[in-house]
């Protein structure tokens, strides 16, 4: 167990919140079997609060521990609060990771963001009014999610969401 | 906690008889073999006895053995030593895609020095085709280096045939025999090799000592410049206890090899069959028969190797994996990829290597634990889709 903290081993041995949610309103799938890790995160969001979260992960000890930890950190939080959780925060909560395993901590953060993005896309809940949309637009973390897309498509996707409500 | 060791290919414990033989060379017979006095002569006697055991084990002459610090040094010496000493003859080296890092990395280094290197492909079992070797030889080829048996998947290469081709074409032939030495017959004249690397700690000898067999008449550079140890080929004060221990370990291996091979082969096949028959979506990597008697390498679908290894470790079972996650490169084992395995299966590989102290009941226990762990990890794997 070279370089793994007690916390990492604990979460690896007894991962929290493993499994799927029957009717999730957000799913995030990230990673690639080529790189040796794949994570799927399921969210149940009610009134902007993450009431349930589950995960399935194919990956090494660090990937599994990171997945487990992020579900603990996120459960019960609002979307905005959840989006503020960085991969560093996950690593810190685990008592650190060996340097060659740092990349694993990104998996959790990416999955969470992807799941929240999916949730917004589905727009089944959460986006209630313009105020919230504007807030979302300004939210640094949310913007990062759309780094790959240009501003135009961001605006378009938000407009689409608005229209669909 | 009960601990089971299934990583004999990584290293082996020293045999107690070896320790016993070595211990006096730390205290009583501590002299420097290069000294002319009594203490030096006594130590030199230990070295030469060891040389005698090893050379007769491989059917070589005494001065064809050069003691080194281990397998990595022997491999480095063979490649660099031959290439540098024969630059006027050519600039081409042939090896395989599944060599140990201590061959691959020196090859890459030599490439940066302007040497051309051909990495031969292997078939789905990991075997090199001697005909491919033949085709790859050019008039610039100086050296062929193909391992005797692979450290990860245990496949045994057709060394004899490759050696014959090399000899016909007048090309030097080196084999990295680190994994097979002391486990498979290793007569250099039968194998048609010109150079052969071996390491002591893979056969119940001490770490930090190995040897390179160099056929007489080879043009090869000195590896370490300094004193005149090993005829000036490898300067440095002799690691006397190490070399003595290596000799003793070879002596024991020579006597036990036949029985051990039979015993290990049956345990190996029991473990392989147990895994393939009791755990779905598993496959054997390497050749079913042409493999080291102690090597089991399987891929387990939909789970990652490091997670398997650590879970097994928590249950007291020590083995290894070719998954990327144990290295900084993030790429799974080059050996498994060369077999044509998908990266997912390469990431899910497990290697069990058995040895002198492996017991039958340990195989049963391992099969039991492994099945449980695979189920646990699959239950949390998004890639797993059970049958039916």
The confidence band for B101, taking pLDDT boundaries of 50, 70 and 90, is very high
Between residues A163 and B241, which one has the greater pLDDT? B241
Residues B382, A1: C-beta atoms closer than 8 Å: no
Phi–psi pair at B337, nearest 5 degrees: -65, -35
A104 belongs to the catalytic site = yes
Alpha-carbon Rg for chain A, nearest whole angstrom, is 16
| Chain A CA closest to residue B301 | A58
Q: Which residues of B fall within a CB distance of 8 Å from A64?
A: 307, 380
Q: From the centroid of its chain, how far is CA B224? A: 23
* Selected residue of B330, B343, B380, B385 to mutate for chain A interface (largest A Cβ count, 10 A): B380
| B43-55 mean pLDDT | 98
Task: List C-alpha distances in Å: B201 to B53, B71, B101, B211.
Answer: 16, 9, 17, 11
Tell me if chain B has a CB within 8 Å of the CB of A76: no
Distance CA A18, CA A24 (A): 14
Chain segment B289-308, per-residue pLDDT in tens = 999 999 999 999 999 999 99
Q: Which residues of B fall within a CB distance of 8 Å from A61?
A: 306-307, 310, 325
Looking at A6, A13, A35, A51, which residue is catalytic? A35
> Does residue A162 carry a pLDDT above 80?
no
Enter the DSSP assignment of B5. E
Q: Which residues contact B162 (CB under 8 A, 6 or more apart)?
A: B128, B130, B133, B144, B146, B173, B192
Q: How many CA atoms lie within 13 A of B328 on its CB side?
A: 3
> Does residue A139 carry a pLDDT above 70?
no
The confidence band for B220, taking pLDDT boundaries of 50, 70 and 90, is very high
Residues A13, B330: C-beta atoms closer than 8 Å: no
Nearest to B304 among A15, A55, A60 (CB): A60
Distance CA B385, CA B379 (A): 10
Is the torsion defined by CA of B296, B299, B305, B308 positive or negative? negative
Nearest to B307 among A29, A33, A64 (CB): A64
* Selected residue of A5, A8, A16, A60 to mutate for chain B interface (largest B Cβ count, 10 A): A60
Q: Given its phi and psi angles, is residue B350 left (phi above 0), alpha (psi -120 to 50 degrees) or beta?
A: beta
Task: Identify the three-state secondary structure at position B27.
Answer: coil
Chain segment B59-75, per-residue pLDDT in tens = 999 999 999 999 999 99
Residues B330, A103: C-beta atoms closer than 8 Å: yes
Tell me if chain B has a CB within 8 Å of the CB of A39: yes
Q: Which residues contact A151 (CB under 8 A, 6 or more apart)?
A: none
- Fold type of domain A6-124: Sufe protein. Chain: A (3.90.1010)
> Does residue A152 carry a pLDDT above 80?
no
- Fold type of domain B4-10+258-379: 3.90.1150
Chain segment A56-115, per-residue pLDDT in tens = 999 999 999 999 999 999 999 999 999 999 999 999 999 999 888 888 888 999 999 999
Other C-beta atoms within 10 Å of A52: how many?
16
Nearest to A57 among B305, B330, B380 (CB): B380
Residues of B (255-314) whose Cβ lies below 8 Å from A: 302-307, 310, 313-314
pLDDT for residue A134: 60
Q: Are B18 and B248 in contact (CB under 8 A)?
A: yes
- Fold type of domain B16-252: 3.40.640
Other C-beta atoms within 10 Å of A19: how many?
12
Residues A39, B382: C-beta atoms closer than 8 Å: yes
What angle (nearest 5°) sits at the alpha carbon of residue B126, between those of residues B266 and B322? 80
> Does residue A132 carry a pLDDT above 90?
no
A35 belongs to the catalytic site = yes
Tell me the helix, strand and coil percentages in chain B, rounded to 5. 45, 15, 40
Residue that is written with structure tokens 């540098």 in the block: B84
Looking at B85, B97, B235, B325, which residue is catalytic? B325
Distance CA B233, CA B335 (A): 32
Tokens representing B127 are 């075997």
Residues B304, A29: C-beta atoms closer than 8 Å: no
How close A122 comes to chain B (CA, Å)? Answer: 22
Question: Domain-by-domain residue ranges, chain B?
Answer: 4-10+258-379, 16-252
pLDDT for residue A146: 45
Residues B381, A57: C-beta atoms closer than 8 Å: yes
Task: Identify the three-state secondary structure at position B42.
Answer: helix
Count of CB contacts below 8 A, A vs B? 70
Enter the DSSP assignment of B293. T
How close B144 comes to chain A (CA, Å)? Answer: 32
């Amino acid at each position: 167990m070279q370089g793994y903290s007690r916390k990492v081993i604990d979460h690896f041995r007894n991962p929290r919140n493993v499994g799927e949610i029957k009717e999730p309103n957000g799913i995030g799938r990230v990673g690639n079997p080529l790189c040796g890790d794949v994570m799927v995160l399921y969210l149940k969001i009610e009134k902007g609060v993450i009431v349930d979260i589950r995960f399935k992960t194919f990956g090494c000890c660090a990937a599994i521990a990171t997945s487990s930890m992020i579900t603990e950190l996120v459960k019960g939080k609002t979307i905005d609060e959840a989006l503020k959780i960085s991969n560093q925060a996950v690593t810190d909560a685990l008592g650190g990771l060996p340097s060659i395993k740092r990349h694993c901590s990104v998996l959790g953060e990416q999955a969470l963001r992807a799941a929240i993005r999916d949730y917004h896309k589905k727009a089944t809940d959460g986006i209630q009014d313009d105020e919230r949309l504007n807030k979302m637009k300004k939210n640094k973390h949310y913007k990062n999610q759309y780094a790959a897309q240009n501003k135009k498509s961001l605006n378009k996707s938000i407009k689409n969401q608005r229209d669909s409500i | 906690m009960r601990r089971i060791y299934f990583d004999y290919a990584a290293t082996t414990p020293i045999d107690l008889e070896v320790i016993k033989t070595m211990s006096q060379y730390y205290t009583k017979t501590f002299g420097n073999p290069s000294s002319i006095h009594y203490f030096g002569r006594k130590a030199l006697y230990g070295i030469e006895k060891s040389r005698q055991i090893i050379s007769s084990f491989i059917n070589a002459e005494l001065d064809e053995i050069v003691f080194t610090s281990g397998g990595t040094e022997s491999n480095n010496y063979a490649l660099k030593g031959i290439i540098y000493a024969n630059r006027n003859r050519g600039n081409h080296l042939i090896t395989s895609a599944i060599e140990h890092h201590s061959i691959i990395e020196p090859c890459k280094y030599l490439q940066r020095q302007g040497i051309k290197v051909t990495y031969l492909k292997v078939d789905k079992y990991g075997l090199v085709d001697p005909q491919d070797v033949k085709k790859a030889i050019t008039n610039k080829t100086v050296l062929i280096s193909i391992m005797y048996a692979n450290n990860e998947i245990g496949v045994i290469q057709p060394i004899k045939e490759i050696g014959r081709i090399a000899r016909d074409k007048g090309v030097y032939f080196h084999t990295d025999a680190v994994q097979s030495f002391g486990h498979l017959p290793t007569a250099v004249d039968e194998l048609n090799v010109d150079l052969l690397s071996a390491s002591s700690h893979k056969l119940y000898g001490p770490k930090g000592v190995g040897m390179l067999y160099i056929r007489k008449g080879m043009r090869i550079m000195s590896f370490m410049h300094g004193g005149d140890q090993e005829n000036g080929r490898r300067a440095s004060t002799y690691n006397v206890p190490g070399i003595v221990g290596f000799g003793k370990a070879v002596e024991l291996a020579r006597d036990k090899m036949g029985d051990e091979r039979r015993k290990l082969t049956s345990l190996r096949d029991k473990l392989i069959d147990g895994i393939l028959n009791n755990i779905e979506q598993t496959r054997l990597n390497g050749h079913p028969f042409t493999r080291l008697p102690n090597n089991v390498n399987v891929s387990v679908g939909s789970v990652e190797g490091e997670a398997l290894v650590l879970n097994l470790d928590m249950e007291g079972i020590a083995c290894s994996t070719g998954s990327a996650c144990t290295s900084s490169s993030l790429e799974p084992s080059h050996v498994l990829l060369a077999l044509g395995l998908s990266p997912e299966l390469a990431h899910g590989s497990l290697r069990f290597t058995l040895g002198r102290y492996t017991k039958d009941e340990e195989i049963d226990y391992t099969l039991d634990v492994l099945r449980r762990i695979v189920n646990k990890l699959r239950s949390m794997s998004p890639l797993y889709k059970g049958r039916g």
